[in-house]
Amino acid sequence: MLIYAIALTMKGKAKKELTELRTRFGTNMNYSIEPHVTIIFRFTLKTDIRIIQNRLSEIATQTRPFMLVLNGIRCWEGKNNVAYIAVQNQLPVYNLQAMIIDALEGLISADTTFNLQNFIAHLTINEHVPNESMSTLKKELLAYHPEYRVNINSFTLFAAETNEKPEKWVPARIFRFSKTK
């Protein structure tokens, strides 16, 4: 069975350097996907994929490109210890997420716990870090001061097989923004 997610992907120098950072420090990740900022976390379809793609195409035509600013390493500690790069300008990400959630309402099955009210846009470096490893990881990451400005002019629909471990997320379709003013 296929599962899907929607994300903003990195380009150029940011993609190269963030891939290297995640390769070095992302040892606990239980999935494989290029560096990204998640918009809609894993979901399944209640309808034909073409209907989903048509809705997403409509959103893309209504969306202006924007500059995504990634700045600094942060951590969440608790049930799922996560090291991530912070998104400094979250509003365009939230706005895009709200439009997509609205457009796909009733067409997908998803855990929406982390959408809208509980969502913090970020780029994961590592997650599911054991408690005993977290302080070491934080010390190692102190040497890094990532700052990137990435021109976002599209979002990507990713797909993965649920029976594949680790999950390998591959781009299913890229939706380019076309609104200019």
Per residue in 123-179, pLDDT (tens digit) is 999 999 999 999 999 999 988 899 999 999 999 999 999 887 778 999 999 999 987
Q: What is the 3-state secondary structure (H, E, C) of the chain?
A: CEEEEEEEECCHHHHHHHHHHHHHHCCCCCEECCCEEEEEEEEEECCCHHHHHHHHHHHHHCCCCEEEEEEEEEEECCCCCEEEEEECCCHHHHHHHHHHHHHHCCCEEECHHHCHHHCCCEEEEEECCCHHHHHHHHHHHCCCCCEEEEEECEEEEEEEECCCCCEECEEEEEEECCCCC
Per residue in 96-134, pLDDT (tens digit) is 999 999 999 999 998 765 566 678 899 999 999 999 999
Inform me whether the pLDDT recorded for 3 exceeds 70. Answer: yes
Give the model's pLDDT for residue 117: 66
Give the model's pLDDT for residue 41: 86
Residues of the chain with pLDDT > 70: what percent?
A: 96
Average pLDDT over residues 31-42: 90
CATH class of 2-176: alpha beta
Average pLDDT score over the chain: 91
Give the model's pLDDT for residue 116: 62
Task: List the domain boundaries for the chain.
Answer: 2-176
Average pLDDT over residues 16-27: 90
